[in-house]
Amino acid sequence: MGNYANLETEFIERTINLIGQYTHLCNDFPFEEQYNYTLTINCMLGLIVMPKEKVVPYIPTTRLTNDFKNEIGLVQSYISDEITTLRDLIISLRHSIAHFDIDVISENENNLIDYIEFKDTEDESTVARLRSNEILPFLQFYAACLLENIKRYRN
């Protein structure tokens, strides 16, 4: 693949495509060599942290109602009551990821990743605890909304 014609939008598109390519190929590897959540966290850097400064005005400000949480794939995930919009959530996740204030949580002795918890960088409170199997659908939804807004509103 060649150089970027538009770095912000193409980087987002390529990051989502990268996740899709890996998901397609990961079953070719033994379970202990499948690094899907490592890739997901790395892609969160690319989708949430890197473009933030240039694209924050394009992040939707949709209220995080229960219906909207279901629509974006966050059915079993926890989001702090202090976070009321999608933009607030992305900004809070950005701070946690950028400062590596995240924890992985396993619900049993198998030590599989069940949740990724994102902490407030100031007071260490939990801003979100995302169910592992809900992160990718959420990232795909967020990336699609962001790309749509960038293409619609950017001059």
pLDDT in tens, 113-126: 899 999 998 898 99
pLDDT, residue 77, reads: 96
pLDDT score recorded for residue 116: 95
The pLDDT value recorded for residue 118 is 97
- Answer yes or no: is pLDDT of 1 > 80: no
pLDDT tens for each residue of 9-68: 888 888 888 888 888 887 888 888 777 788 888 888 888 887 667 788 889 999 999 999
Asked whether residue 75 carries a pLDDT value surpassing 90, the answer given is: yes
Range of the structural domain that residue 142 is part of: 7-153
Instruction: Residue 83: count other Cβ atoms within 10 Å of its Cβ.
Output: 17
The count of domains in the chain is 1
Worst-scoring range by mean pLDDT, 17-21, 98-102, 139-143?
17-21
pLDDT at 97: 93
Q: Is residue 125 part of a domain?
A: yes
Q: Is residue 81 part of a domain?
A: yes
pLDDT of res. 155: 62
**Within a domain: 77:** yes
Distances (CA, A) of 73 to 5, 22, 50, 52, 109: 31, 20, 23, 21, 26
- Tokens 């950017």 belong to 154
- Rounded-to-integer distance, Cα 125 and Cα 20, Å: 32
Is 138 contained in some domain?
Answer: yes
Residue 99: inside a domain, yes or no?
yes
**What average pLDDT is seen over the chain?**
88
Question: Looking at the domain assignment, is residue 20 inside a domain?
Answer: yes
Q: For residue 2, is it within any domain?
A: no
